[in-house]
Amino acid sequence: MNKIPKPSELLLRFFRWFCHPKYREDIEGDLLERFEKKVNTIGVRKAKWSFFKDVIRLFRPSIIRPLEGTYRLNQFGMIKNYLKTAPRTFVKNPLITIVSLFSLVTGIVCFQLIHVWLTNELNTDQFHKNIDNIQVAVMKSNPIADYKPFSHSKFFNMNYHEFPNIKGKLEISVYDNDIKLISQNSEFYGKGLIVDSTFFDFFDFPLHSGNDKDILTDPKNIILTKKYAAKVFGDKNPIGEAVKIECDKRGIYQVAGLLDDIPSSSSINFDFLIPRHSQQNWGKMSTDLILTDDFFNEKEFKAKIAEMGRFHPQFPESTLSCIPFSSIYFERHFDYGLFSKYGDLNNVKTMFIIALFILLISALSFANLQTTLQLSTIKNMGIRQVNGASKFDLIIETLIGRLYFLISSTIVGCFIFELIFPFYTGILEMDLDRNRILDVAGIFSVSGIIISISMFFALVQISKIETVKALKNKLSISSVSKIQRALTTVQYAVTIILMIATTVVFIQFKYMLNKDTGLIEDNIISVKLTNQIPNRLSRDEMVKERENQKKDYHFVVDQLRQNPNIVSISQGRMPISSVAYPMAWRFQSQGIDYTTENMMVVDPEYDDLFGIEILEGRFFSDSLDMSRQKKVVINEAAKKYWGIENIDTARIANQSWGDDEVPYRVIGVVKDYHYEHLSAKIKPLMLVYMRNLEENFLIRIQDGKEQECMAFIEKLFMKVNPMGSLNYAYFTDKIEAQYKKERIVSRIYLVFTIIALMLSLISLFTFALYETKRRTKEIGIRKVSGASFQDLFSLLSLSFLKTVFIAYLVACPVAWYGMNKWLENFAYRIDMSLWVFAFAGFIAAALALLAVSWQSWSVIRINPVESLRYE
């Protein structure tokens, strides 16, 4: 049989789409009839062509259907209805509504808190317009050394303007607490920067008062930060006041400008700025900063300057380079006094992951709760559908319900955020700059994201509703709760991962922080008692100052020694991170190449003060050794590192000090102690004896005599520095500060884990609530048939425990892998024992059981007569 020719389906569909529905049927009939007739008279091809022409000619205003909205005017009425019914549903299910709102708000507030911190961290220094065009000049003195900030212009007479795309140079010297500012009769230490007048071309610190940014061109001027000015001058207007500056230079300056407080997002920090050209030859080493334009080619520039320092007799092996200023905060190429803080990319990443976890958990929890809520209104939806609501209408209804959550969660979220924020910055121990409008926007959009996720699940659910079943309240619950079960499982898995992670973090930190440093830590203070002598005084003045200093020094030492409450005194630095000085050393007897090893300057009392144990040989002593002799005490790690067998014959060379010709003689070996962060392995350490009268005093006080001693030390200090104010630090405080980061991280983990656990439990609880309610009748029947309490209890509870168990199985390997990676950051680490996992599993199961069993119990207790009448 011949196939019956048919007009193009596409055209027909097009016609049906555009045609006014009232005319559709008969015109389509006409079209078809005409087509059939044409096929018989003029052939298929021509008929098709004519059909095409007909359809196109029908596409005219009087035939095309009008826009939809115009005849669906009643939509607003419907929306009004939705707006009214949504709150009724909430009032009917107060528990779920409150808990939904709670999990939503918790999620967004937590996320926003982390978000504020992250943006603050990532925006560090971004308020300087030129931040991406600033380079720090660096040099390494030999191939194995690290790059250090340096002044190429000063040492190598480098003229940066000879290079293309370089706009300016800024030389900075940093005086950190070794510069004094004297106003009338009081002295204040502070952090001063000696800078070129180009400072404000580089950095955009806002001037609070003072006219223009040319202040620094006048050598008489000094600029103070507002905070520091308040400290020095109190309420008085500082502008125009004269101050005296004392460090290795002395000079009188006039306060010509005030800077607004330095933003917390600045990585550099200072109290005052002094024009460099106000004095000749500042004693502190300076560093060059280079300002480039946007077309600066870093690679090319580095290649050009790399060897330009080698002509200098002091740096024959040097390599010059530069490092982008903006990269220093996170990459911390070196420790440099200009920077007051560094970021930690690891921390940023961890926090980011936690933020995502929290977001995920609260989104799942919310979606889960809303799914439960929707199940309770399923009959309602059925009725709506019978009355002609399309799936689209149901979606609109759900959407409007969620809009209530969006608005209320934003309001409540902002309110709570405002309340919590100060505590949060307290926990983090940092200042955060914040922008209220951005916070509100952030909270709103995160809430929007969570609600969109929940909408997705709602859509899946709505698409599955079958009207008849919904009306009978017989919606196949197993299929719907499959989604819920999956959600709960994922959520619980994430929670268990967080729990395991927190436990591991806690144990590791506890292990690390309680690890014996090998030193006495208590009652040791560091205090500056002797004055620094300014450089480049005239010869006579110098001699006089030296004399004075010596006199002061002996006076102080005598006084300290005589005090019975003082156990021991020494001079030097406290053994905390980045105090040891890396230098190039090598073990001569074996001809090994130079490597960078740590060195610390000590005096003969140092071992006694910190209780350092001598394993071999002896420590320095005033009777046998003199300051700056070529003798060295090494630690066990160094001995092992070089494989030194006999210390009497061992010679160690220092590349900068004497090299191979005058090597150091090893006189003793001390037992390893931690002089760096406890997460690092103890590295080789050389102790060298140098007496420096200006160095800080280290004083160990007898236990319980702190107050008397401090009073005594203060008096002593006032005798030597009649105008100054005493600055001191406890060793234990310094150690505390060193592990601040660890403390903060563990706190953060703990707080967010508790939140995650809470959210998960809540959604499990409500899930159980509705599940047991659904089974009330079933329980009654079972009870009548003779089921015991235990039977029913395990029946109800075990199904939930199964969810937890699956989550646990998923979580364990993930957590194990992740935490193993994390532990690799530590030289001394705990083994992840099985009981950590067992513990997390136990807690998860126990809490889940608790959440569920309350429900089960209350349902089982109901008299079967009651429960059978239920519904």
Partner 1 sequence: MGKYQLGEFEEVVLLTVAILHGEAYGIAIIEEMEERLNRKVSIGSLQTVLRRLEKKGHLTSEFGEATKERGGKRKRYFTVTQYGRSVLEETKEQRLGMWRAIPEIVFNKG
Contact 318, 140 (CB under 8 A): yes
Q: Which is nearer to partner 1, 58 or 759 (CB)?
A: 58
E strand or H helix that includes residue 179: strand 166-183
C-alpha distance from residue 122 to each of 358, 431, 504, 675 (Å): 20, 14, 28, 31
Smallest distance from partner 1 to CB 29, Å = 3
Q: Which is nearer to partner 1, 32 or 144 (CB)?
A: 32
Q: Which is nearer to partner 1, 38 or 402 (CB)?
A: 38
- Of the candidates 474, 529, 442, the one whose C-alpha atom is nearest the C-alpha of residue 726 is 529
Smallest distance from partner 1 to CB 48, Å = 15
Q: Does position 830 bind partner 1 by CB under 8 A? A: no
Q: Does position 29 bind partner 1 by CB under 8 A? A: yes
- Which residues inside 258-287 make contact with partner 1, applying CB under 8 A? none
x/- map, 55-94, partner 1, by CB under 8 A: -xxxxx-xx-------------------------------
Smallest distance from partner 1 to CB 41, Å = 11
List beta partners, residue 719: none
Give helix 706-720 / helix 539-562 axis angle, nearest 10°. Answer: 160
Q: Which is nearer to partner 1, 28 or 132 (CB)?
A: 28
Q: How many residues bind partner 1 (CB under 8 A)?
A: 22
DSSP for 635-669?
A: EHHHHHHHT---TTT-EEEETTTBTTTSPEEEEEE
Smallest distance from partner 1 to CB 76, Å = 29
Antiparallel, parallel or unpaired: β 566-571 and 651-654 = unpaired
Phi, psi of 20 (to 5 degrees): -60, 130
Q: Which is nearer to partner 1, 35 or 270 (CB)?
A: 35
Q: Does position 53 bind partner 1 by CB under 8 A? A: yes
Contact 194, 337 (CB under 8 A): no
- Of the candidates 760, 821, 767, 771, the one whose C-alpha atom is nearest the C-alpha of residue 796 is 771
Kindly indicate which of the ranges 24-32, 175-183, 517-525, 741-749 contains the residues binding partner 1, using the contact rule CB under 8 A. Answer: 24-32
Contact 399, 83 (CB under 8 A): no
Name the burial class of residue 230, with classes exposed (0-12), middle (13-18) and buried (19+) by CB atoms within 10 angstroms of its CB.
Answer: middle
Smallest distance from partner 1 to CB 6, Å = 9
Neighbours of 732 (CB within 10 A): 13
Radius of gyration of the chain (CA): 39
Write down how long the chain is.
Answer: 871
Kindly indicate which of the ranges 26-34, 106-114, 228-236, 469-477 contains the residues binding partner 1, using the contact rule CB under 8 A. Answer: 26-34
Smallest distance from partner 1 to CB 50, Å = 9
C-alpha distance from residue 490 to each of 495, 765, 779, 807 (Å): 9, 16, 29, 7
Smallest distance from partner 1 to CB 47, Å = 13
Q: Does position 34 bind partner 1 by CB under 8 A? A: yes
Which of 1, 10, 26, 299 contacts partner 1 by CB under 8 A?
A: 26
Smallest distance from partner 1 to CB 15, Å = 10
Q: Which is nearer to partner 1, 23 or 342 (CB)?
A: 23
Which of 11, 32, 396, 471 contacts partner 1 by CB under 8 A?
A: 32
Contacts (Cβ under 8 Å, ≥6 apart) of 141: 315, 317, 318, 656
3-state SS track over 263-331: CCCCCECCCEEEEHHHCCCCCCCEEEEEEECCCCCHHHHHHHHCCCCCCCCCCCCCEEEEEEHHHHHHH
Phi, psi of 76 (to 5 degrees): -65, -40
What does DSSP assign to residue 681? P
Q: Does position 37 bind partner 1 by CB under 8 A? A: yes
What does DSSP assign to residue 25? H
Q: Which is nearer to partner 1, 31 or 583 (CB)?
A: 31
Q: Which is nearer to partner 1, 33 or 293 (CB)?
A: 33
Smallest distance from partner 1 to CB 68, Å = 20
Smallest distance from partner 1 to CB 493, Å = 57
Kindly indicate which of the ranges 51-59, 107-115, 695-703, 825-833 contains the residues binding partner 1, using the contact rule CB under 8 A. Answer: 51-59
CA distance 197 to 193: 12
Smallest distance from partner 1 to CB 56, Å = 8
Q: Does position 27 bind partner 1 by CB under 8 A? A: yes
Which of 13, 17, 30, 643 contacts partner 1 by CB under 8 A?
A: 30
Which of 39, 47, 54, 553 contacts partner 1 by CB under 8 A?
A: 54
Q: Which is nearer to partner 1, 3 or 57 (CB)?
A: 57
E-assigned strand segments in 505-622: 524-527, 566-571, 581-587, 595-602, 614-617
Phi, psi of 728 (to 5 degrees): -145, 165
Q: Does position 8 bind partner 1 by CB under 8 A? A: no
Q: Which is nearer to partner 1, 28 or 552 (CB)?
A: 28
CA distance 420 to 122: 22
Which of 8, 17, 33, 865 contacts partner 1 by CB under 8 A?
A: 33
Which of 5, 11, 14, 28 contacts partner 1 by CB under 8 A?
A: 28
Contacts (Cβ under 8 Å, ≥6 apart) of 80: none
Smallest distance from partner 1 to CB 8, Å = 14
Smallest distance from partner 1 to CB 19, Å = 10
Q: Does position 3 bind partner 1 by CB under 8 A? A: no
CA distance 664 to 658: 9
Q: Which is nearer to partner 1, 9 or 871 (CB)?
A: 9
Q: Does position 335 bind partner 1 by CB under 8 A? A: no
Which of 18, 23, 163, 336 contacts partner 1 by CB under 8 A?
A: 23
Q: Does position 11 bind partner 1 by CB under 8 A? A: no
Contacts (Cβ under 8 Å, ≥6 apart) of 702: 523, 564, 565, 566, 567, 709
Q: Which is nearer to partner 1, 54 or 672 (CB)?
A: 54
- Which residues inside 484-503 make contact with partner 1, applying CB under 8 A? none
Q: Does position 39 bind partner 1 by CB under 8 A? A: no
Residues that bind partner 1 (CB under 8 A): 23, 25-34, 36-37, 53-54, 56-60, 62-63
